[in-house]
Amino acid sequence: MHDTRTAVVTGAGRGIGREVALRLSRDGHRVVLTARTARELTAVAAECPGPTLAIPADVTAKDAAEEVFAKAEEWGGPVGILVANAGGATSAPVARITDEEWAQALDLNLTAPFRFVRRAIPGMVEAQWGRIVVVASMAAKRGDPYVAAYTAAKHGVLGLVRSTAAELAGKGVTANAVCPGYVDTPMTERSIELIAARTIRSEDEARHLLASRQPIGRLVSPAEVAETVAFCVANAALTGQGINVDGGAVQS
């Protein structure tokens, strides 16, 4: 077992974030869970085998990172692990994306992770140990139609990770992005419902369509993404990477 650390996980109430929180707790870390819905956080905290602190927060709020970290540090000491997982997507052709939709996509998927990363760095550098993991997306590696705002934000957050890694190399702090394909989560369920609503396909057909875009022929499980996050935490030589967890859809 490696040393016990205090870990902050954003978007921890469901899907990938829930599974990451459970995995880090099983690995022996103290886990701070944050998301907007207190009820979901309470449920995830109850599933974790180790110490947890649930902090309901909207990560897009300007002071959210400062407030979450202040409470986390008071509870569990210096934060050694940050998993910036909160994110979300909307769908529209480029020509129909409003300024508001564009700004919302960047706020949630790029600016919020930036603020959490920025807040995490000083304590990690002081401790000469830290692990920053951003849950990005295959949209950080390629462009698909109708998700330009989300894709631009995810490309941006991969750039943030790469520059952060280069800056902190040699200081005991790593920064990586995990880039999932289509994962069996509530977010993907919403995509399936949207495809069914906008086309003549049933939800089962829409699910099969997404699954078939990955060579393994199925959706990725949240546990498989969490396993990759845990690998980023465990491996001190791994930094500056965007690790694909997409069933072979994009080879790099």
The strand ranges marked E within 61-112 are 79-84
Q: Angle 38-47/15-26 helices, nearest 10 degrees?
A: 30
Is the separation of the CB atoms in 58 and 71 below 8 Å?
A: no
CA distance 176 to 160: 10
Task: Give me the DSSP letters along 59-106.
Answer: TTSTTHHHHHHHHHHHHHSSEEEEEE-------B-GGG--HHHHHHHH
Task: Tell me, yes or no, if 182 is annotated catalytic.
Answer: no
Specify the amino acid at residue 7: A
Catalytic residue among 79, 150, 184, 185: 150
In the DSSP assignment, the letter for residue 3 is: -
Helix (H) or strand (E) holding 123: helix 112-127
Does residue 117 contact residue 160 with C-beta atoms inside 8 Å?
yes
The amino acid present at 8, given as its one-letter code, is V
Q: Which residues are catalytic?
A: 150
